[in-house]
A and B are shown apart, each in its own frame.
Chain A
Amino acid sequence: MAGYILRRLLQAIPVLLGTTFLIYFMVFAMPGDPLLALFGDKTPNPALLEQLRQQYHLDQPFIVQYFLYLGGIFRGDFGTSFSGEPVADILARTFPVTIRLAIMALIIEFVGGVLIGLVSGLRKGKLFDASALVVSLIFISLPIFVIAFVAQFIFGIQLGWARTTVSTGAPIQDLILPAFVLASITFAQLIRLTRASVIETQSLDFVRTAYSKGLSRRRIIPVHILRNSLIPVVTYAATDFGVLLVGATVTEGIFNVPGVGRTLYQAIIRGEGPTVVSFVTVMVLIYLVVNLVVDLLYGLLDPRIRYVK
């Protein structure tokens, strides 16, 4: 296990260096003045420009700039936002809200997705299965902002069950609708994955053995089938975390949830390039760390993984 952890950590280093370099390269190795390009058609005041120039070390050669910037990231210095507030402070303020929303979405997604997927898989080819497949296809095709607007329109405006925007402090009851919207994008894939996995597990020898020694379905389904079907589902959660990050940006923007996503959303809408770059970098780092943690957990859950190259 120690070897596996070490190998996995070593593998993460080039990816970490590569992703930060790529983002930095995209922004600051372009011809012309990258800062002016980032502001688009706006003209920033010279004092801010000067401050940004120092923050990104633009007076140094490119490769030196990059390493200075990387050093800053490791010290927790993600730069300052357009309004002058350090990005790290904004993160500290907004991150708990996003975590709350994300956990709610994950619970909805997993409980709903695994349940529907399980029933679908057990009743392969029946009406429930067929309709679950069609509905999941539709959800896969719907862009997140369309789902968000439809939910806002139906539940917020027509039925009046939920607030269309979240009030300050983001209480849990206000977050329910955004959490459902956020869950809906990855939920459909989860149904399909669980279903396929359940169908495959059902045909395995140990399930047949369990049936032939007379165990009841009530025991076989949760213990033998479901538990063994969940392994690919857990990995999926990690790879799909990126979708969830993008989804959170749009969902938080539309429902006005005061989280990390909305901060990025507003920076994008207002064309505040440098803030966008800082927040995208932070999100990519979060994504990398989550993937690493899930990989390590996965090695813990399934011993076979540790020995594969």
Chain B
Amino acid sequence: MSSNQPAPTHYVAPLEETPLVAVDAVNVGERKSNLWIDAWRDMRRRPMFWISAVIIILVIIVALFPTLFTSVPPNDDCQLSNSNGGPSGEHLLGFTKQGCDVFSRLIHGTSTSLTVGIIVTILTTVLGILFGAFAGFYGGWLDAILSRAGDIFFSIPYILAAVVIMSVFSAYRNVFVISLAIGIFAWPATARVLRAEILRVKNADYVMAARATGVSNFRILLRHVLPNAIAPVIVVTTISLGAAIVAEATLSFLGVGLPNSTMSWGNDISAAQVDLRTAPQTLIYPSLALSITVLAFIMMGEVIRDALDPKARAQR
């Protein structure tokens, strides 16, 4: 470069220093990545995920095989002489007012809570997806009708609604009726989340591309829009499983839940409340079981939300 030429305003690298081949080539060795794989990589690094996963799996095993954990029958062996008694021998947590084994009733009551949680969640997810997907994707008058319907159901706090339903169906109180009573008013939360997400997704380029190639509307919804909008629904679903378990316990506690013959944590808490002063163990252990189970589901929902939502990740 001779001295009488003006200095270049931009530095331009000589060609041989920038290997274009390396820039343009796709690195085939790079690990595959999409939303779900990223989320999984993020989740498995967090202790909260493993803690809640272990609790949830344990709860499922207890619900499926209660006899693995206790050999004491929950109801047959009750003796009033043991009423509100403290722990002894193979009766780890003491006795209820009726002289039944607290621990055994806890173990055998697990499946009730879990079953209600699962049925309610299936119900709210199915209804929520149907209402949310059609409202968000098709828009217009269908959206107006479905969203107003959702507003109406959303305007009645679902436990109060369930109280009314359970009062009417006082003769038919069982696990299915109570799940229906909770689920029928709890779905708008899911529908709202999905609708908002679909509104965001439905104008994406890949949807446009699918439309241009002549894919039918319904197929676009099913194959392109829904899979890309489902992530927040999974979060709501996980959390609502915990909420449904609480709802069942609250209804049973109020005396409009499951009949006394059904073993459930809510019923045990309800029965024990009068003996808070004299026999706190009968109240505290079922409450603890209930709270830990719900905590596990809510923690799991939080972890999934953080993993799926980069914005939430940044706030950590």
State the A residues within 8 Å of B (CB): 14-15, 18-19, 22-23, 26-27, 30, 34, 37-41, 124-125, 137-138, 140-146, 149-150, 152-153, 157, 195-196, 199-200, 242-243, 245-246, 249-250, 253-254, 265, 268-269, 271, 273, 276-277, 280, 283-284, 287-288, 291
- Say yes or no: A268 contacts B155, CB within 8 Å: no
- Say yes or no: B256 contacts A268, CB within 8 Å: yes
Q: Which one of A18, A37, A40, A138 contacts B295 once the chains associate, using CB atoms below 8 Å?
A: A138
* Closest A residue to B277 using CB positions: A157
Known A141-B246, A276-B167; 19 more pairs at CB < 8 Å = A14-B151, A15-B152, A37-B168, A38-B167, A41-B170, A138-B291, A141-B291, A143-B253, A146-B290, A153-B280, A245-B157, A246-B159, A246-B250, A269-B255, A280-B164, A283-B157, A284-B157, A284-B160, A288-B155
Q: Which one of A140, A152, A242 contacts B298 once the chains associate, using CB atoms below 8 Å?
A: A140
Known A14-B148, A137-B299; judge A196-B167 contact (CB<8 A): no
Assembled-state Cα–Cα distance A15/B154 (Å): 9
- Say yes or no: B153 contacts A273, CB within 8 Å: no
Assembled-state Cα–Cα distance A56/B199 (Å): 43
The 6 closest A-B pairs by CB, nearest first: A18-B152, A40-B170, A242-B157, A141-B295, A141-B294, A146-B287
* Closest A residue to B294 using CB positions: A141
Q: What A residues does B153 contact at CB under 8 A?
A: 22
How close is A11's CB to chain B, nearest CB, in angstroms? 8
* Closest A residue to B172 using CB positions: A37
- Say yes or no: B168 contacts A250, CB within 8 Å: no
Q: Which of B170, B283, B294 has the most CB of A within 10 A?
A: B170
Q: What A residues does B242 contact at CB under 8 A?
A: 141
- Say yes or no: A273 contacts B269, CB within 8 Å: no
Q: Is the interface of A mostly helix, strand, loop or mixed?
A: helix
- Say yes or no: B155 contacts A137, CB within 8 Å: no
Known A137-B299, A141-B242, A269-B255; judge A157-B276 contact (CB<8 A): yes
B316 at interface (Cβ–Cβ under 8 A)? yes
Q: What A residues does B156 contact at CB under 8 A?
A: 19, 22-23, 284, 287
Q: What A residues does B160 contact at CB under 8 A?
A: 242, 245-246, 249, 280, 283-284
B169 at interface (Cβ–Cβ under 8 A)? yes
- Say yes or no: A277 contacts B152, CB within 8 Å: no
Cβ contacts A to B, 17 pairs, < 8 Å: A18-B155, A22-B153, A23-B156, A23-B164, A26-B161, A26-B168, A37-B168, A40-B167, A137-B295, A138-B291, A140-B298, A144-B250, A145-B273, A153-B284, A245-B160, A277-B167, A280-B160
Q: What B residues does A243 contact at CB under 8 A?
A: 157
Q: Which one of B163, B170, B284, B287 contacts A37 once the chains associate, using CB atoms below 8 Å?
A: B170
- Say yes or no: A26 contacts B165, CB within 8 Å: yes
Q: What B residues does A153 contact at CB under 8 A?
A: 276, 280, 284
- Say yes or no: A284 contacts B155, CB within 8 Å: yes
How close is B204's CB to chain A, nearest CB, in angstroms? 22
